[in-house]
Structure formats: C-alpha cells, structure tokens
Amino acid sequence: MQKYDVTKTAIKTFSQPEHEIALQTNDLHVYYGDHEQIKGVALQFERYKISAIIGPSGSGKSTYLRALNRMNDEIQSAKVTGSIMYRDLDVNSPQVDVYEMRKHIGMVFQRPNPFAKSIYDNIAFALRRHGIKKKATLDEIVEKTLRQAGLWKEVKDSLSKSALALSGGQQQRLCIARALALKPDILLLDEPASALDPISTSVVEDTLTQLKKDYTLIVVTHNMQQAARISDYTAFFYDGYALEYGATNQIFTQPKLKATDDYISGNFG
C-alpha cells in the first residue's frame, strides 16, 4: 500500500457552518485497548442530507459511525474521547442517557438483523417498550414506516409472518422501517447494502434517497458508486483520519488530495 502523509492533511477543524448541522464531532478518538482506531476526526453532517463515509477496509469508517450513537460502549475495551455534538448535547458525555439518545440517533447494520418475531412485532416491539401501547397507533406507525422503507406493498398481507422468512433485501428494509418507527432525527447506516444482491441494493438505495426529506442520513459504504449515487456529501477516511470531506461530486470529480484520488480511481482499497 502506498504511504500518504496523513497527519498533515487530516481534517482537524471546520469553518462556520452555512447550513443547519444535525451532528458534528470534534477531535474524536476511538481506542480499542491500546490501539488507536480513530485518530481525531472533526466532521459536520448537514441536516436532511445524505452524507457518505468511504475509505479502504480498516480505515475506521465503521468504528467512527458506531461511535456516533455510542454503540462502542458495548465493546469492553473500547474508549471514545472527544465530543459528538447533537443539538446542544455532547452525546459522548457520561451524563447522557444513551438509551434515550439512541431513539434520536438510530442505526441500521451491515447484516440485516430482524428479531425472530413477526414482521409487525419487529416494528411494534420497541414502540411498546417505549410506552406506545394503543393498537391503532401501532398499526398506523407500522404501516407508515413500512411505506417509508418501501416494503409495505410486499408484506401488507403477511404482517404476522416471521420476519426471518423475508429475503435479505426485505429484511434490511424492515430493519430500516424498525429504526424509523422511533422517529429518529439521524439514521446511521453501516454498509446497509453490502450483504444484498444488486436488485435489493438498488431498492434500498431508492429508499434512502426518499428518506432524506425527513431524516439526516449518514451512510458508511465501501461501494463508491453507491456513495456517488445517493450522497450529497462524502468523507474520505484513511488510517483513522478523515482526510477529505466535501460535496460528493467535488470529491468524485476533483478530489484535492492524492490519496482520495487514488482511492476513488481504484488504485488501492
């Protein structure tokens, strides 16, 4: 692999925002034991846009994403420093109620992970736990989110069937619907289409493009075409740093850094 001088070019600060910012991180570091996986990342994510995070394997893009709603808390050896500003709240502060916060910052994972419950209960389950018990309300949210995720037509007659009987692409859209049911502000998606076939991928991508009307999406992907197709902004991660960040078509047509250019033109990955 080529060597790039990453410490000089890494993004450490940003200028004053011109648009409404949904989430921003300052000097975010993630350590797994003694290993520093994310080495100080400063990024801003604009509201109602899709921001893509691209970069080679091991560049820390998934680790960074998982830090944003504190999923790294579940890993015993993980430690996160720096701040993650959501509204006026530092998500990374120990006083934050992570469970409440995760209702606002939802997440969809790489592999579809529906619960071994019915399609209906996959969505209604978390709602019930958060106190929504009325059948009519639940019905309404289930239908609305399944429509948003582009799954309603396919499953409306089999809501009581096991979610595990769905295809991979359908399961992933169910997971998106499930996350939307909590009405999050921000949806984090960790390579949401990487385990899917091309047709399912394109359906999921359409779904995401539809969703940005109401949600702020941050998508990690190793698929550059996908980033180019769906995102408004793209961040290029390399070796634990965010090297370049900008409007997607600028990143893909006129990258400022050689590393970005090399990665985008497929010289390494």
Partner 1 sequence: MNVKRQDKIATVVLYLISGMIILILAALLLYILAAGLPHVSWHFLTSPARAFEAGGGIGIQLFNSLYLLVLAMLISMPISLGAGIYLSEYAKKNWRTTFVQTAIEILSSLPSVVVGLFGFLIFVVQFKFGFSILSGALALTFFNLPLLTRNVEESLASVQGSQREAGLALGLSRFETVTRVIVPEALPGITTGMILGAGRVFGEAAALIYTAGQSAPALDFSNWNPFYIASPLNPLRPAETLAVHIWKINSEGIMPDVAAVSAGASAVLVIVVLIFNLSARWFGKWLFKKMTGGD
> Using CB atoms within 10 A of its CB, is residue 178 exposed (0-12), middle (13-18) or buried (19+)?
buried
Q: Which tokens in the block code for residue 102?
A: 């995760």
Nearer to partner 1, 11 or 180 (CB): 180
CB of residue 67 to partner 1, shortest distance in Å:
13
CB of residue 115 to partner 1, shortest distance in Å:
6
- 3-class secondary-structure state, position 244: strand
Question: Cβ contacts of residue 30 below 8 Å, gap of 6+?
Answer: 36, 37, 38, 60, 63, 64, 67, 72, 78, 79, 80
Nearer to partner 1, 165 or 199 (CB): 165
Give Cα 68 distance to the centre of its chain: 9
CB of residue 223 to partner 1, shortest distance in Å:
20
Which residues sit at the interface with partner 1, rule CB under 8 A? 69, 71, 74, 76, 99-103, 106-107, 109, 111, 113-119, 121, 125-126, 129-130, 160-165, 175, 178-179, 182
Q: What is the 3-state secondary structure (H, E, C) of 160-206?
A: CCEHHHCCHHHHHHHHHHHHHCCCCCEEEEECCCCCCCHHHHHHHHH
Nearer to partner 1, 106 or 255 (CB): 106
Amino acid at 88: D
Nearer to partner 1, 3 or 129 (CB): 129
CB of residue 207 to partner 1, shortest distance in Å:
18
Amino acid at 146: L
Q: Taking the CB of residue 99, how many other CB atoms lie within 10 A of it?
A: 10
Nearer to partner 1, 102 or 173 (CB): 102
- Interstrand relation of 241-247 and 233-238 (parallel, antiparallel or unpaired): antiparallel
Q: Which tokens in the block code for residue 124?
A: 């209604």
CB of residue 210 to partner 1, shortest distance in Å:
21
Nearer to partner 1, 131 or 198 (CB): 131
Nearer to partner 1, 18 or 100 (CB): 100
> Using CB atoms within 10 A of its CB, is residue 257 exposed (0-12), middle (13-18) or buried (19+)?
middle
Q: Which tokens in the block code for residue 18?
A: 């011109």
CB of residue 164 to partner 1, shortest distance in Å:
6
CB of residue 193 to partner 1, shortest distance in Å:
16
CB of residue 113 to partner 1, shortest distance in Å:
4
Nearer to partner 1, 121 or 205 (CB): 121
